[in-house]
Amino acid sequence: MSYPEQFQGFATNDPKDWASPKLTSYQPKNFGARDVDIEVECCGICASELFALKNGWSHEPMACLSSKYGPKTQVVGHEVVGKIVAIGPEVTLCKVGDRVGLGAQASSCMKCSRCTSNNEQYCAKSVGTYCDPYEDGYVSQGGYASHVRAHEQFCFPVPPEIPSEFVAPLQCGGLTVFSPIKRNIAGKQNPRVAVIGIGGLGHMAIMISKALGAEVYAISRGYSKKEDASKMGADHFVATGEKDWNKGLDDHFDLILNCASSTTSLDLNALLPCLKVNCNFVSVGLPDIGEDFNVKPFSFFHNGCNMGSSKLGSREEAIELMQLAVEHNFRPWVETLKVSEAGVSEGLTRLDQGDVRYRFTLTGFHEFFGTGK
């Protein structure tokens, strides 16, 4: 491997091969004035990777096939932790040698009203850490790799108190739930938060809601995760597979946060009346492109509730989240896997089968790639 001309990572360009990315060398994007290179130490495995590798969020061919330069294959991974080894001439937010985290966003315009109001994740020119074209036509490559290149704004300082394997899931999964929880319950007295889906996102949402002072309800179809939810900090558990599960829950919640990655079992007409007046149902779990929400207009009528979504979080929120984890001593539930073709395949396959409680982090990058020296 010749650095920085070539990175190495685990890639594929055919959805049929989603479970078996192969080690490859590739050209990184052209180096920008505010770009940094991260030598990867570890990287979380997120459900987004499954959708990306299966091309489940698009009716078009995989984006990497249309890249104007660089690889025609795709490396995924956007829960990156590592050390900065190179910086552009205009970088001010970090320096070589810093341990940083990188989440699901790698760039934005940094000039628009959203970028200048701590909403850079909603920038119209936002570029995701993988599977997303830059303005020059390069399709972004992610963190199942020796290195990753990104704009400094999206490389967050990491508190020394948190080991890297626990930092990784906070970069995407944790930030994705922290932003809407904070924005929806800030300033409220004794807020109640309902978390639907006790998985990779939901288990962190329980911990974060509790740390932010909420009374937390974990909502799942059955009782198999009740004990785990209690250990994570949930005050109550609701199984929607039970008859009359919503009895007594009308006008109850300041926020319902949907963390499930499928909409097929959501009874929105039963869930929405559980919200207090003008409060929100926010969905952060993104399903396959073929799935829809099914809801009757009358379900909004009696409490004036709202439905919406939330995208990632800002740099400010990412830093605040990690400080919250330090102060309240919560950590994602993580199983580590050694990075390799076999390790990547195992993680993706087991995640697809639901065989994880509740996040995977790929480790051993320095040993595998011969970095970290």
Domain boundaries, the chain: 7-162+331-369, 175-309
Q: What mean pLDDT comes out for the span 293-302?
A: 93
Provide the edge-to-edge strand list for the sheet that holds 192-196: 236-239, 215-220, 192-196, 253-258, 275-283, 306-309
What are 24-73's pLDDT values in tens digits?
Answer: 999 999 999 999 999 999 999 999 999 999 999 999 999 999 999 999 99
pLDDT tens by residue, 58-112: 999 999 999 999 999 999 999 999 999 999 999 999 999 999 999 999 999 999 9
Q: How far is CA 161 from CA 15, 70, 93, 224, 225, in A?
A: 39, 37, 20, 32, 29
* Range 175-309: architecture per CATH: 3-Layer(aba) Sandwich (3.40)
CATH topology of domain 7-162+331-369: Quinone Oxidoreductase; Chain A, domain 1 (3.90.180)
> Is pLDDT of 265 > 90?
no
Q: What proportion of the chain, given as a percentage, has pLDDT over 70?
A: 99
List Cα–Cα distances, 362 to 17, 204, 285, 293, in angstroms. Answer: 19, 18, 22, 33
Quick one: average pLDDT of 186-193?
Answer: 96
pLDDT at 106: 98
Is 7-162+331-369's fold the same as 175-309's?
A: no
Q: Residue 1: what pLDDT?
A: 63
Amino acid (1-letter code) at residue 264: T
Residue 268 has pLDDT above 90, yes or no: yes
> Any idea which residue has 């697809």 for tokens?
352
Q: Residue 288 above 90 pLDDT?
A: no
Q: How do residues 212-244 score in pLDDT, each as one tens digit?
A: 999 999 999 999 999 999 999 999 999 999 999
Task: Return mean pLDDT, the chain.
Answer: 96
Q: Which residues are within 8 A (CB) of 122 and not within 5 positions of it... i.e. 6 or more apart?
A: 114, 311
pLDDT at 159 over 80: yes
**The pLDDT value given to residue 195:** 98
Please state whether the predicted TM-score (pTM) of the whole model is above 0.75.
yes
